[in-house]
Amino acid sequence: MTTVAFLGLGAMGYPMAGHLAGQFETRVWNRTPEKAQQHAAQHGSQACADVAEAVRGAAVLFTCLPTSAEVDALADTVLGAASAGLVWVDCTSGEPAAARALAVRAAQAGVVFLDAPVSGGTSGADAGTLTVMVGGDAGALDGVRPTLAFAAKVVHVGPSGAGFAVKAINNALLAVNLWAAGEGLAALARAGVDVSAALQVINASSGRSNATENLIPQRVVTRAFPVTFKLGLLAKDAGIALRVVNDARASAPVLNAVEGLMRGAANAVGADEDHTAALKLIERLNDQEIR
Ligand code: NDP
């Protein structure tokens, strides 16, 4: 049976590793060890006390940490413990430049590094229906495709760093849609229009988006703001998108603006709040709740 390892059992990693444990011999490690022990009890994975123990002898390694900085901090240990031929699938939403650098370092240790961030949120992770966008060696990806048990769609998007670049731009678009819808709905509410009625119309019209169809009705209008994807992580992704724009010497004034707005919202509202709580800043600016 193929042995796989998973480092980082957060909101995404915990359910993703659960799908692996059903099909492969799965070792899990988490900074806070109680989560790994809980995972072992719930899913039959093997909780490891340290990173090297998890990685040693594994054929495929998955990581899902907040940023590339936390991934880089584990790299020496991972590469020191890795068997030659290990494929490292990094599902963090990370930095393209960090992926390129780590792919080179990994190759020197006989390891293939793939940047493989995911989309679909915690509900997609629970259901095993995530989309994975992969940068790096296409042949290595084909070799590990059968182990991507948490995914419904896997797309090779280019060389090292391309997966992280696509993910960052996708999330910048999420931020744009969310913020713009928030501005529009706050204005309508101030004008005396019922927000739910406005959403009914928008969602049957050309202004609709995932923000108007799902996020705002389920999380903002209800005032629930359940924390499944932290605002600080969305601000981080908008920052990565800006670096993608600048590295390509592209002109993207809206993406520039949304990075500042997400960073400001994380500072003002709280980085550990749900990403939809960015709209609380719009509410303050307008002295108007969106509901
Ligand atoms: P969480 O904050 O829920 O989990 C973060 C994980 O990283 C935890 O396991 C945490 O361990 C671990 N961690 C944090 N700091 C360190 C460190 N210094 N060293 C080792 N481990 C550390 O994040 P998510 O699961 O939400 O996000 C993970 C990645 O996936 C991010 O890049 C995010 O942008 C991306 N993503 C998130 C989505 C979502 O809907 N939540 C959707 C798609 C992508 P501990 O338990 O000890 O805190």
Q: Tens digit of pLDDT for each residue in 65-77?
A: 999 999 999 999 9
Distance CA 57, CA 83 (A): 6
Question: Which pLDDT belongs to residue 249?
Answer: 98
In 118-144, which positions are buried (b, 16+ CB within 10 angstroms) versus exposed (e)? bbbbbebbbebebbbbbbbbeebbeeb
Residue minimizing CA distance to atom 27 of ligand 1:
66
Q: Residue with the nearest Cα to atom 11 of ligand 1?
A: 31
pLDDT in tens, 178-231: 999 999 999 999 999 999 999 999 999 999 999 999 999 999 999 999 999 999
- Indicate the SS3 state at residue 265: helix
Q: Which atom of ligand 1 is nearest to the CA of 67?
A: 32
Domains and CATH numbers, the chain: 3-159 (3.40.50.720), 165-286 (1.10.1040.10)
| Residue to substitute in 7, 34, 38, 65 for testing ligand 1 pocket (most ligand atoms within 8 angstroms of CB) | 65
The tens digit of pLDDT for each residue in 84-115 reads 999 999 999 999 999 999 999 999 999 999 99
Percent of the chain at pLDDT > 70 equals: 100
Within 6 Å (CB) of ligand 1, which residues are found? 8-13, 30-32, 35, 64-66, 70, 92-93, 118-119, 121-122, 228-229, 233, 237
pLDDT band per the 50, 70, 90 thresholds, residue 128: very high
Active-site residue, 167 included: yes
pLDDT at 22 over 90: no
Q: What is the pLDDT at residue 216?
A: 98
Question: What separation in Å is there between the alpha carbon of 8 and the centre of ligand 1?
Answer: 7
Q: Please give the structure tokens belonging to residue 265.
A: 């919202």
What three-state secondary structure class fits 209? coil
Q: Which of 35, 167, 230, 236 is catalytic?
A: 167
Q: If you measure from the C-alpha of residue 67 to the centroid of ligand 1, how many angstroms do you get, rounded to a whole number?
A: 8
- Would you state the pLDDT for residue 78? 98
Atom of ligand 1 nearest to the CA of 8: 9
Q: Are 150 and 19 in contact (CB under 8 A)?
A: yes
- Tell me, what's the pLDDT at 233? 98
**pLDDT (tens digit per residue) in 140-177:** 999 999 999 999 999 999 999 999 999 999 999 999 99
| Mean pLDDT value across the chain | 98
Q: 256-272, pLDDT tens digit by residue?
A: 999 999 999 999 999 99
200 Cβ contact partners less than 8 Å away, ≥ 6 residues apart: none
Q: Rounded to the nearest 10 degrees, how much is the dihedral formed by the CA atoms of 223, 227, 229, 232?
A: 90
Q: Is the pLDDT of residue 277 over 90?
A: yes
pLDDT at residue 1, as a whole number: 86
Mean pLDDT of 132-137: 99
